[in-house]
Chains A and B, each alone.
Chain A
Amino acid sequence: MSEKKKIILGISAYYHDSAAVILIDGKIVAAAQEERFTRKKHDPAFPKNAVRYVLEEAGVTMEDLTAVSFYDKPFIKFERLLETYHAFAPSGITSFLAAMPVWIKEKLFLRKILRDEFEKVTDIALPKKTPILFPEHHLSHAASAFYPSPFEDAAILTVDGVGEWTTTGIFHGKGKDITALKELHFPHSLGLLYSAFTYYCGFKVNSGEYKLMGLAPYGHPKSERVEKYKKLIYQDLIDVREDGSLLLNMEYFNFATELEMCDDEKWNKLFSLPRRKPEDELTEEYMDMALAIQEVTEEIVILLARTAKKLTGSKNICLAGGVALNCVANGKLHKTGIFENIWIQPAAGDAGGALGAAYAAYHIFLKQDRRVSGDGRDAMQGSYLGPEFSSPEILRTARKYEAVSHYVADFDTLAKRAADLLSEGKVVGWFQGRMEWGPRALGARSILGDPRNADMQKRLNLKIKFREGFRPFAPSVLAEESEKYFDSDIASPYMLFVFPVKENRRKIIPATAKGLYERLYVSRSDLPCITHIDYSARVQTVHKETNERYWKLIDAFREKTGYGLVVNTSFNVRGEPIVCTPEDAYRCFMATDMDALVMGDYIFLKEEQPGEQKDFQNTYEAD
């Protein structure tokens, strides 16, 4: 008789980026973030839609589950809160009174709440005998980084804001085992330090960090101001040790007791620069500040990686935690050559904790063996792990909106049509197959453009995404062609590395171009739309074996233009989660300046569509 399948449901919820994952016998069957269903960015609520979806996709019910695994330990988090409030008392009383009711009413009773929610969502109760497990937050991150990686043995580095107590962890992954080696504890956190600068530069904490990273290249490297800011950070804000551990000077930070990140007055005095308000102009001082903290972050990540190397002796490293989404730091880490190979969980933030929790339950709690593919491929299946929609479902949306569409039976013809549109300077919405897992659009829910087009960045930012003009765009390049355009020797299928654009493709930025927008709209290479101001690009390498349709589209574009890459940005407007359903996609298409939408086997051309929706972008709060 064959052994019963081991089916694990992984959950992350109640902080930000709720998500659900289902793992069957160690294989990821489905994974999705709740925000994609509720259309509420970073939705922290119990992921009822995501749970419903992953169970349906796997064809199982609550009764079939071997275990449920939640991505952190609520009691230890509660311990941290009580001890922190106690340590800082009486300051923090307001935050204490605000935080306690939700803990006393809900979070402390998480096991019961989860059981109740499962029953509400699926109408089937989780059997009493099915265990609900609570692996530690950073163990969940470490598991999400190591278990799906292509490595048998690897150092694991997890860096984020905070989990229970841990803010940074170094682990050693070997076969099916993960051993914790070193931890750094709250309030001393690299993630929270970066978030404090995100807040101070006028962006939203927990979502604006990547904007700060995108702003950094506009700073002036090695300039007096950047060096001064860096010196102040090292001297007054943090104490960094040789092993990469750091102490924050809590005189300057309020996050432990207040509902804000830092003491504005003290920071203003220290940097001689007031906190920027969200929609204020981005002056050179803030660009230099962004560069200073970016460089400090990179330096600390490299020190941590050196420590991980020393402790494990491994030639491989896996990364997860919110800081692992800092693709500039990842690129620099790769360049140091400390590790031969580097692999990063595409959902490195808290959503990925659901996957790690499920993996931890499977390999650690259930002691199941781990099989590595052996051909260098990871277990993420290109990160296309979300819902997929059939032609009848697409047609239903078309009918609902009385949309005009063209059916193209042969995919090669469809890819050629889309490539033609792109080469004519048109912006194309691309909706194909299963939705991506993680914060990046990887060619399943993407908006595409021609990277050679000098006006594309401005058009995409201001008329399609309705977001800040300085934000850079990323290229999706045929894996086989990547080295033609970028100085890179590794694959970057999840858009988690920044590589320099080849020198022979660069153009000199005239010294007369000084302000942000003057520098922004100068052509920097023969691929102006994806070349950032420092000649870098956040690259996605596209592989035929994980996304054949997307690969074929880019290949058709290559045949037409000679360039094997396209601009790829997520299919959404500012503040909106990436589209999930055909209806989300059509509404976004109609509300923006997009020219065409290629959804499944159908092409929708803007000029043929009836009516035009207005002010769609105002539906979503700016992030």
Chain B
Amino acid sequence: MEFLHDIWGFLKTRKKFWLLPAIVVLLVFGGLIVFSSGSAIAPFIYTVF
């Protein structure tokens, strides 16, 4: 929560909302790498097969 609050504060103060999609994509992929402890596409492969 603290992180979301900080990142919102940063985007608002700096008026850099266009960075939001890039940050979200990076965080989603980053999260996938961390939680699947390996390749970012592994979770999608399992859902397909």
Contact = CB atoms under 8 A, between A and B. Distances in A.
B7 interface: yes
A69 to B, nearest CB: 16
Interface in B10-35: 10, 14, 16, 19, 22-23, 26-27, 29-31, 33-34
Interface string A239-256: 000000000000000000
B26 A79 contact: no
The interface residues of chain B, by DSSP majority, are classed as helix
A303 interface: no
Contacts of B7: 75, 108
Contacts of A83: 19
A134 B23 CA distance: 20
A108 B27 CA distance: 10
Contact of B30 (A75, A79, A104): A104
A104 B33 CA distance: 10
A105 B30 contact: yes
Interface residues of A, number: 15
A82 B34 CA distance: 21
A109 interface: yes
A111 B2 contact: yes
A101 B33 contact: yes
B3 interface: yes
A273 interface: no
A183 to B, nearest CB: 15
Contact of A76 (B10, B23, B34): B10
Contact of A111 (B6, B16, B31, B33): B6
Contacts of A76: 10, 14
A513 interface: no
Nearest to A115: B2
Nearest to B30: A104
Contact of B3 (A86, A103, A105, A108): A108
Contacts of B16: 79
Interface in A91-136: 100-101, 103-105, 108-109, 111-112
Contacts of B33: 101, 104
Nearest to B29: A104
Contacts of B6: 75, 111
A130 to B, nearest CB: 13
A547 B19 CA distance: 52
A100 B3 contact: no
Interface in A28-61: none
B19 A79 contact: yes
Contacts of B2: 111-112
B30 to A, nearest CB: 3
A86 B23 CA distance: 13
Contacts of A101: 30, 33
Contacts of A108: 3, 7, 27
A75 B14 CA distance: 10
A55 to B, nearest CB: 24
Given A75-B6, A111-B3, A112-B2, A104 B26 contact: yes
Contact of A104 (B10, B14, B19, B27): B27
A109 B3 contact: yes
Contacts of B27: 104, 108
A78 to B, nearest CB: 8
A100 B30 contact: yes
Contacts of B34: 105
A432 B47 CA distance: 66
A103 to B, nearest CB: 8
A75 B9 CA distance: 10
Contacts of A105: 30, 34
B26 A75 contact: no
Contacts of B14: 75-76, 79
A480 B23 CA distance: 59
A112 B31 CA distance: 16
A148 to B, nearest CB: 29
Contacts of A82: 19, 22-23
A100 B26 CA distance: 8
Contacts of B26: 100, 103-104
Interface in A183-214: none
A242 to B, nearest CB: 30
A168 to B, nearest CB: 20
B3 A112 contact: yes
A129 to B, nearest CB: 13
A104 B31 CA distance: 8
B11 to A, nearest CB: 9
12 contacts: A75-B14, A76-B10, A79-B19, A86-B22, A100-B26, A101-B30, A104-B30, A105-B30, A108-B7, A111-B2, A112-B2, A112-B3
Interface of A: 75-76, 79, 82-83, 86, 100-101, 103-105, 108-109, 111-112
A-B complex: 5 closest residue pairs judged by Cβ atoms: A104-B30, A75-B10, A104-B26, A82-B22, A109-B3
Given A79-B14, A100-B30, A112-B2, 20 more contacts: A75-B6, A75-B10, A75-B14, A76-B10, A76-B14, A79-B16, A82-B23, A83-B19, A100-B26, A101-B30, A103-B26, A104-B26, A104-B27, A104-B31, A104-B33, A105-B30, A108-B3, A108-B27, A109-B3, A111-B2
